[in-house]
Amino acid sequence: MSKISVASVRESVQQLLDASAAKKRNFTETVELQIGLKNYDPQRDKRFSGTVRMPKTPRPQMSICILGDAHDIDRAKHIGNDAMSVEDLKKLNKNKKLVKKLAKKYDAFVASEVLIRQIPRLLGPGLSKAGKFPSSVSHSDDLNGKLLEVRSTIKFQLKKVLCMAVAIGNVDFSADELVGNIMLAVNFLVSLLKKGWQCMSSLVIKTTMGKPFRLY
């Protein structure tokens, strides 16, 4: 049973959108869902990790690089998306600084199915450490569809601290679109928690520059 109602979430979302509209920024503010957990010991308890696809893409501008074989490099060029070949990756020479720079440059990576196993050998653990290990794409997959899926998917992962934040949309979304994303994200996260809502300490939404609005 969800402890937050659609009506109360909609009210908070509307307040957040009104506040953002009143103080218009010269960029599109991201709306973030910030979560505080309790009754968890990150040292002892099993750390959870899960991904869920949002009904409305939270980060349409997310930058993605395709690590591809010849076929996928061609497909990437055709849609005007950045791509790197095996030769390009070899040039980085597993240099930690260069791999870190690459990981910083993009929000996410997608790799050809045939290359995915070679990534650790080519780049070392850099992308994994940054939490950006590539998603796999096969030749039969629609590349645009795969990129949309990556942009639409959010990840919840318990690390060493009991707080998390995910991008849930932006201020150009309608209230209904934000509410839809928030409800799905929260209910999915609760399903990952060992004791459900008993592990939830706080839920807050805020825009990049705005003040926080508490949901729970």
Q: What is the DSSP string of 2-71?
A: -SS-HHHHHHHHHHHHHHHHHT--SS-PEEEEEEEE-S--TTTSPPPEEEEE-SS-S-TT--EEEE--HH
Find out whether 68 and 81 touch, Cβ atoms under 8 Å: no
User: Which DSSP category does 196 fall into?
Assistant: G
Find out whether 151 and 86 touch, Cβ atoms under 8 Å: no
pLDDT of residue 11: 96
In angstroms, the Cα distances linking 29 to 34, 101, 151, 204 are 15, 25, 16, 16
pLDDT of residue 42: 85
pTM over 0.75: yes
pLDDT of residue 1: 61
Q: Measure the CA–CA gap between 216 and 213, rounded to whole angstroms.
A: 9
> Which amino acid is residue 149, in one-letter code?
E
pLDDT of residue 44: 87
> Splitting the chain (216 residues) into consecutive groups of 10 residues, what average pLDDT does each group show?
88 96 93 95 88 95 95 96 96 93 96 94 92 94 96 92 94 97 96 93 96 95
Backbone angles phi, psi at 135, to 5 degrees: -80, 155
pLDDT of residue 160: 87
How many Cβ atoms are within 10 Å of 73's Cβ, its own excluded?
18
> Which residues does residue 169 pair with via DSSP β-bridges, in sequence order?
31
User: Which DSSP category does 134 fall into?
Assistant: P
Q: Which two tokens stand for residue 60?
A: 């349409």
pLDDT of residue 47: 86
Q: Which of 70, 77, 134 is nearest to 102 (CA)?
A: 134
Q: Measure the CA–CA gap between 173 and 169, rounded to whole angstroms.
A: 7
Find out whether 215 and 201 touch, Cβ atoms under 8 Å: no
> Which residues does residue 148 pair with via DSSP β-bridges, in sequence order?
none
Pairing state between β 108-112 and 64-67: parallel
